[in-house]
Amino acid sequence: MTTDQFGVDGRTAIVTGASSGIGKAIAERFAADGADVVVCSREQDNVDPVADAIADSDREGRALAVECDVTDRDAVEALVEATVEEFGGVDVLVNNAGASFMASFGDISENGWETIVDINLHGTYHCTQVAGERMREDGGGAVINLASVAGQKGAPHMSHYGAAKAGVINLTSTLAFEWAGDDVRVNCIAPGFVATPGVESQMGVSADEIDREQVERRIGTSEEIADVAQFLASPAASYVVGETITAAGVPDIMETPDV
């Protein structure tokens, strides 16, 4: 049985928020499979080590680090221009850049609300519109948005984040319909708890402690989200359009009570 259809070799991918966690894992996975990756973050010093590590490894793909604040339209346009100049085009966009903080709805200031929505939703708008224009001109591509189960079900003390991610999920299905005729596939991943550095600092669970073979669990690894991202970027997902794939371990269900 061939597995070539699951590969991303020869493609060029932009991964936002790639300095650590899920974004870093996706960039490393793509590069290992032969894709050229552009990794970006708000601080150049945070993303340079990711590109350097890819370059110094035995991964086949090349890497370029670009400083980019996804809420700044000029910076996003410069990001895409740098990608095209370095690698000749854009085949895949992974909208991973995001941020949040925990607070009850009544305690979220207008500035706090706008900041979280701006990064998670408005940033996705900027990157998708600019990179997507290039994809459509060049004959197609794949957009992979990172949402959250908080955008599907809601989450206490994360109303701003959940609302923004719900917007990302809706944008995914709407844009998938609009851009299908241009051969651009738009899909979304909604992770649950993932052992990123941020989650590790809050919950004390390290990715090294997680057994990927164990089905009965509620926390995953960044590499497991990278698995899904590679699938969605590959030809194997050619018939998957406008979908949000939930990667959150064992689901919550209504169980029969003990009597």
Residues tagged active-site: 161
In eight-state DSSP terms, residue 118 is I
Q: How far, CA to CA in Å, does 241 sit from each of 36, 91, 128, 175, 225? A: 23, 16, 16, 10, 18
Query: Which residue, among 253, 255, 192, 245, has the nearest Cα to 222 in the 3D structure?
Result: 192
CA–CA gap between residue 143 and residue 188 (Å, rounded):
8
CA–CA gap between residue 123 and residue 141 (Å, rounded):
19
Residue 190, classified by CB atoms within 10 Å of its CB into exposed (0-12), middle (13-18) or buried (19+), is buried
CA–CA gap between residue 214 and residue 234 (Å, rounded):
26
Widest CA span in the chain = 67
Residue identified by tokens 């990715």 is: 207
